[in-house]
């Protein structure tokens, strides 16, 4: 039976560390061809820039070929075909499926019917495990470790799939979390209960200034308009947080600012050239991490 990456829980702590080590190897030598002859489908039912292109670049760097589509408009789903039927058919053509879908749980459905490994490239407001692995890669590069870090996550805790996956993954490394959000966008109860059961320390605040000076990682997120069914709710919270250079006056020297991107206006561009900004380098590591995930799931490394 194929191993999938639908949730970050599909990888053990040891597998996560293996992926990060393998990504570092690929960063040193990214021109590989051991997947020559393989075909990988990148099925993006929802718009994407970084995730789709970094996956396609990863596939090409490994010597495989890519087929797929960048959105849902030209697929048979517009004719009423079910996701299950789409995945069953495409499984006949390829060696792996990478899928992004706007509906939470869609990746589980795909994995349940696919005859090849499935990688979840984001399913609604649920999970984004490959984003989390590249986040961990960036954290380890900047801090030299994953253990015992103080991580402040800011913005959309409710709908932020990158946040949900990262909280689960970092919980294996004894973190201290701060969740900075308005009341309308607090972390879902199931994640708080998980942290309570695991004895992970956390606090919930509403102002960035309340915890910025103590953190090792400041993980900013945008308020995602596409996740809101109520436009008024979005308008109420969309500009709640904006990080400016003046707010960094007393932060720790090792503190780094991360963001799953795209940003809207939650990080002022004046921060881009500071020593604390790491979001562009963070995204740059995504190709190497995805090379590692693909090769691992296909049994090559």
> Which listed residue (3, 18, 50, 252) is catalytic?
50
pLDDT at 80: 72
Cis amide bond preceding 35, omega within 30: no
The strands making up 65-69's β-sheet, listed across from edge to edge, are 65-69, 39-44, 96-101, 118-123
6 with 111: CB under 8 angstroms?
A: yes
User: pLDDT tens for residues 171-199?
Assistant: 999 999 999 998 888 999 999 999 999 99
User: pLDDT tens for residues 279-288?
Assistant: 999 999 999 9
pTM: 0.92
222 is catalytic: no
Confidence grade of residue 238 (pLDDT, cut at 50, 70, 90)? low
pLDDT at 47: 85
> Which listed residue (79, 189, 190, 231) is catalytic?
79
pLDDT at 225: 55
Given a cut of 70, whether residue 230 has pLDDT beyond it is no
| Encoded tokens for 74 | 């030209």
Q: Which residue has the tokens 């990746």?
A: 107
- Buried/exposed code over 263-273 (b: 16+ C-beta within 10 A; e: otherwise): eeebbeeebee
56 with 66: CB under 8 angstroms?
A: yes
> Which listed residue (51, 86, 178, 180) is catalytic?
51
| Encoded tokens for 265 | 């206006």
User: pLDDT tens for residues 13-62?
Assistant: 999 999 999 999 999 999 899 999 999 999 999 888 899 999 999 999 99
50 is catalytic: yes
100 is catalytic: yes
End-to-end CA distance of the chain: 18
User: pLDDT tens for residues 123-178?
Assistant: 988 889 999 999 999 999 999 999 999 999 999 999 888 999 999 999 999 999 99
Q: Is 51 strand, coil or helix?
A: helix
Given a cut of 60, whether residue 245 has pLDDT beyond it is yes
Report the mean per-residue pLDDT for the chain.
92
> Which listed residue (52, 61, 128, 161) is catalytic?
128
CA distance 49 to 262: 9
128 is catalytic: yes
pLDDT at 263: 87
Given a cut of 70, whether residue 76 has pLDDT beyond it is no
pLDDT at 74: 62
Which residues, other chains included, contact 268 with Cβ-Cβ below 8 Å and sequence gap of 6+? 242, 243, 244, 245
pLDDT at 239: 63
Residue 14: which H helix or E strand, with range?
helix 13-28
User: pLDDT tens for residues 93-129?
Assistant: 999 999 999 999 999 999 999 999 999 999 988 889 9
Given a cut of 70, whether residue 231 has pLDDT beyond it is no
140 is catalytic: no
**Position with higher pLDDT, 70 vs 39:** 39
> Which listed residue (52, 61, 86, 100) is catalytic?
100
| Encoded tokens for 28 | 């040193």
Domains of the chain as residue ranges with CATH = 8-127+286-297 (3.40.50.1370), 129-283 (3.40.50.1370)
CA distance 202 to 11: 23
Neighbours of 301 (CB within 10 A): 18
């Amino acid at each position: 039976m194929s191993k999938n990456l639908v949730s970050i829980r599909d990888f053990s702590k040891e597998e996560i560390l293996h992926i990060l080590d393998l990504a570092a190897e690929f960063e040193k030598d990214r021109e590989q061809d051991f997947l020559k002859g393989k075909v990988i489908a990148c099925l993006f039912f929802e718009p994407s820039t970084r995730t789709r292109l970094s996956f396609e670049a990863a596939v090409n760097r490994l010597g495989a070929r890519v087929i797929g589509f960048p959105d849902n408009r030209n697929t048979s789903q517009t004719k009423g075909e079910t996701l299950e039927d789409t995945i069953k058919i495409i499984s006949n053509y390829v060696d792996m499926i990478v899928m992004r879908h706007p509906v939470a749980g869609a990746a589980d459905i795909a994995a349940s019917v696919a005859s090849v490994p499935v990688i979840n490239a984001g399913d609604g407001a649920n999970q984004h495990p490959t984003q989390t692995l590249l986040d961990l890669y960036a954290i380890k590069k900047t801090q030299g470790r994953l253990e015992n870090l103080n991580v402040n996550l800011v913005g959309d805790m409710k709908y932020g799939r990158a946040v949900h996956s990262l909280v689960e993954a970092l919980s294996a490394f004894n973190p201290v979390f701060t969740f900075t959000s308005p009341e309308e966008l607090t972390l879902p109860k199931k994640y708080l209960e998980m942290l309570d059961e695991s004895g992970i320390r956390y606090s919930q605040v509403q102002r960035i200034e309340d915890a910025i000076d103590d953190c090792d990682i400041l993980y900013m997120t945008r308020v995602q308009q596409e996740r809101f069914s109520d436009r008024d709710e979005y308008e109420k919270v969309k500009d709640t947080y904006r990080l400016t250079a003046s707010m960094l006056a007393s932060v720790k020297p090792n503190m780094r600012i991360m963001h799953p991107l795209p940003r809207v206006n939650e990080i002022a561009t004046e921060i881009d050239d500071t020593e604390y900004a790491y979001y562009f380098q963070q995204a740059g590591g995504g190709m190497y991490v995805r090379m590692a995930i693909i090769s691992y799931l296909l049994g090559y490394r």
